[in-house]
A = this chain, B = another copy of it.
Amino acid sequence: MYADAANVSERQLQPPALAISTVIFALRPSARSGRPTLWLPLVRRIRQPHLGKWALPGGPLAQVESLQDAASRNLRETTGLVPNYLEQLYAFGGLDRAATQRLVSIVYWALVQPDEAALTRESENVRWFRADKLENLAFDHNAIVDYALWRLRSKMEYGSIAYHFLGDTFTLAQVREVYEAVLDRHLDPANFRRQLRATPDITPTDEYLQGVRHRPPRLYRYTGTASILGAQASPVPATPVPASTSTD
């Protein structure tokens, strides 16, 4: 009781702590079906509060970096990942987010390619989890992941976001698999192909995917606004694309 009262009065004096976190999505083959499914990397808490629980990668905001740079740097430091797409998700500032202090988290969300995801330096404290089978995470991170999933699905429905999950060239069936994995429903291959062919941003190459046990599918390339970090259809004037954090 006394300790609680002391905490409360302490909290009145401290300024709110500001942290940057990121929800990172990648497609990896499911363990049993082999079909691509949504995964995300988490880091284990190595200090109180929530010691031992899994949490979104994140950390404090350094003085000399923009919000997006902070997200990008944190990502690289904690998981070794360099994202193909990075965008601000939301600022979470509820009163009960952390027990010990007032904590405001500016959360980003990112997409990485499968081969990039495979390079993750996994360890005791860094591991990939299936997005649809998450255990109890630290803080309000379950709710944050749910919101990030909602945003990902919304953007997928009428945006050119899916290509950031894929490599430089890809088959139309691979794009469809991305949609099916993220939206979690079956799409008619013929109709899906018709729609993609009508999209000007996706141009056919004259190469074909070899080594499959059926007719080789044509490879395509995304030629819209390049797969640059932070590229988006919305004009976010205050967050220009940092050259130092581009793909590859």
- Which chain B residues lie closer than 8 Å to A140 at the CB level? 237-238
Please tell me which one of the listed residues B14, B61, B90, B93 contacts residue A93 in the complex, with CB atoms under 8 A apart.
Answer: B61
Q: Is B235 a contact of A146 with CB atoms below 8 Å?
A: yes
- Within the complex, the shortest CB–CB distance from A16 to chain B, in Å, comes to 6
Q: List 27 A-B contacts (CB under 8 A).
A: A11-B63, A16-B18, A18-B18, A63-B102, A64-B95, A66-B93, A66-B94, A67-B93, A67-B94, A67-B104, A88-B90, A88-B91, A91-B91, A93-B106, A93-B238, A94-B238, A97-B238, A104-B106, A106-B106, A140-B237, A140-B238, A143-B237, A146-B237, A147-B236, A147-B238, A151-B234, A154-B234
- Which chain B residues lie closer than 8 Å to A239 at the CB level? 92, 94
In the complex, A43 has a CB within 8 A of chain B: no
In the complex, A150 has a CB within 8 A of chain B: yes
Q: How far is the CA of A154 from the CA of B232 in the complex (A)?
A: 14
Please tell me which one of the listed residues B144, B150, B151, B234 contacts residue A238 in the complex, with CB atoms under 8 A apart.
Answer: B144
**Chain A contact surface mostly:** loop
Q: How far is the CA of A160 from the CA of B11 in the complex (A)?
A: 39
Q: How far is the CA of A17 from the CA of B18 in the complex (A)?
A: 9
The residue of chain B having its C-beta at the shortest distance from the C-beta of A17 within the complex is: B15
- Which chain B residues lie closer than 8 Å to A88 at the CB level? 90-91
- Which chain B residues lie closer than 8 Å to A63 at the CB level? 11-12, 14, 16, 102
- Which chain B residues lie closer than 8 Å to A92 at the CB level? 238-239
Q: How far is the CA of A153 from the CA of B151 in the complex (A)?
A: 18
- Which chain B residues lie closer than 8 Å to A11 at the CB level? 63
Q: CB within 8 Å of B: which of A82-108?
A: 88, 90-95, 97, 102, 104, 106
